[in-house]
Amino acid sequence: MEPTSPPVRRDRTHFLYLAVIVAVAAGIAVGLLFPEVGKELKPLGTGFVNLIKMMIAPVIFCTIVLGIGSIRQAAKVGRVGGLALGYFLIMSTVALAIGLVVGNLIHPGSGLHLNEAAAAAGQKQASGAAHEGVSDFILGVIPRTLFSSLTEGDVLPALLVALLVGFAVQALGRSGEPVLRAIGLTQKVVFKILAMIMWLAPIGAFGAMAAVVGETGVDALKSLAQIMLGFYLTCAIFVFVVLAVILWAFARMNILLLLRYLAREFLLILSTSSSESAFPRLIAKMEHLGVSKPVVGITVPVGYSFNLDGTAIYLTMASLFIAEAMGDPLSVGEQISLLVFMIIASKGAAGITGAGLATLAGGLQSHRPDLVDGVGLIVGIDRFMSEARALTNFAGNAVATVLVGTWTGEIDREKANLVLAGELPFDETTMLDADTDDAPPPPPREKPESATATRDS
């Protein structure tokens, strides 16, 4: 008797996506037709945001510690790992900076003034900060105890402790691997809780949208459309201008040909809102393109955790949108420090349930706590921007693989030209899968079953 295969667990995330869309539409209708009722529904959005805030410190701690552990592992592979990590850091910074520039040009959310009290609180906080010296700020980052940083809700102390633990474990070498495994298990528990919370996203989106539209009317819809279109435009600029120029300058490769070669993968991502759904195919196609197996085996998995260009753009533009909508825009200094925070905090959280929202809330909590409630508004439109994030992340990782292969001399240029010209087509029947000895390695971190795990990747 042949062993029966285990039942395949059905993916229920599509039901959540539909529920969020329906909730957003219902919230808009309630806000327009019954504005006073809409305003009374604000606690629904606030409650959801508070649940997200509850998870900020543990999410940041786990992702940063394990992220540094991944860097330690990648560093062992020598030149390829070093080039890949250096490139990822630079491009993530560029993506964040582009998001800030475009956000400052289009001013998303301006004119809404959702919460005058919050704006006044923010001005008071900024005024107080002006009298706070550098030494007071540094001392405030140091927690009272090692564990209080994870319980008091302050983000910067949690970030400091995570960095210290990560580097300490790194210095322990092999003896520190059990600690990494323990934190990895803790991460699974934390992200499972976060996945459960994300199933409340339709309720939070409904309450937040109803309250915002009830307060501002059609102006809210215009601002939401503005940030979505601005985000799409920024992602397009990043891919077709920034990545295109870099790819041609260093590899003499036309990005349009590369994107055409990966057309099926882009369609797969578009249908699932997940760049991870195309992970095995990217491995196979990059090898077919002529990039060596070692380069592909290192660059692609590490890139899926550390090269999240679309997510970086999203984080900065969403932060600017919330600040503008709340009536108290971020200063230049706050934007720069927020950029630095996002560079660190966004690493190692690919494919994690709600990690994008947690990172966004963490950045605002560390710089402007009065703006965190605005995250509830982003929940309502996050679904509509997830595809652009995933497509941009995937394009960035494909370009990175070609570039690292070029810099290390590990790419067959003649074969690459034939493949891109269509003279050496990819054979779908021989694509590597999990049943072969040459199957590609799994993604760098197990993706938990969830509602929105794929949206942040």
pLDDT of residue 428: 65
DSSP per position, 154-171? -HHHHHHHHHHHHHHHHH
pLDDT of residue 323: 81
Q: How far is the C-alpha of 98 from the C-alpha of 235, rounded, in Å?
A: 9
Helical packing angle, 218-237 and 13-33, nearest 10° = 140
Work out how many domains the chain is built from and give that number.
1
Q: Quick one: residue 209, left, alpha or beta (phi over 0 = left, psi -120 to 50 = alpha)?
A: alpha
* Residue type present at position 169: V
| Per-residue CA distances from 246 to 63, 70, 238, 240 (Å) | 29, 26, 11, 10
Task: Please indicate, yes or no, if residue 6 is contained in any of the structural domains.
Answer: no
pLDDT of residue 247: 94
pLDDT of residue 259: 93
Strand partners, 291: 411
* This prediction's pTM: 0.65
pLDDT of residue 69: 66
pLDDT of residue 5: 47
pLDDT digits (tens, 9 = 90+) for 294-324: 788 778 877 776 777 888 888 888 888 888 8
Among all chains, which residue has been given the structure tokens 């699932």?
272
Q: How far is the C-alpha of 112 from the C-alpha of 324, rounded, in Å?
A: 8
CA atoms lying within 13 Å on the CB side of residue 38: 25
pLDDT digits (tens, 9 = 90+) for 33-59: 888 888 888 888 878 877 877 877 787
DSSP per position, 279-331? HHHHHHHHHHHTB-HHHHHHHHHHHHHH--HHHHHHHHHHHHHHHHHTT-PPP
Could you state, in chain order, the average pLDDT of each consecutive group of 10 residues for the chain (457 residues)?
49 69 86 85 81 77 73 60 83 85 77 51 40 57 78 72 83 84 86 80 83 74 80 91 95 93 83 66 86 82 76 83 78 78 62 60 75 72 75 91 91 91 75 42 45 41
Task: Please indicate, yes or no, if residue 331 is contained in any of the structural domains.
Answer: yes
Task: Please indicate, yes or no, if residue 5 is contained in any of the structural domains.
Answer: no
Q: Which domain holds residue 239?
A: 13-456
The CATH number linked to 186 is: 1.10.3860
pLDDT of residue 445: 46
pLDDT of residue 32: 85
126: its two tokens: 């900024």
Q: How far is the C-alpha of 25 from the C-alpha of 29, rounded, in Å?
A: 6
pLDDT of residue 257: 94
Q: How far is the C-alpha of 330 from the C-alpha of 321, rounded, in Å?
A: 10
Task: Please indicate, yes or no, if residue 444 is contained in any of the structural domains.
Answer: yes
Task: Please indicate, yes or no, if residue 3 is contained in any of the structural domains.
Answer: no
Task: Please indicate, yes or no, if residue 7 is contained in any of the structural domains.
Answer: no
Task: Please indicate, yes or no, if residue 397 is contained in any of the structural domains.
Answer: yes
pLDDT of residue 342: 72
**Are the beta carbons of 214 and 31 closer than 8 angstroms?**
yes
Instruction: Give the CA radius of gyration of the chain.
Output: 22
| Per-residue CA distances from 131 to 125, 154, 326 (Å) | 10, 20, 24
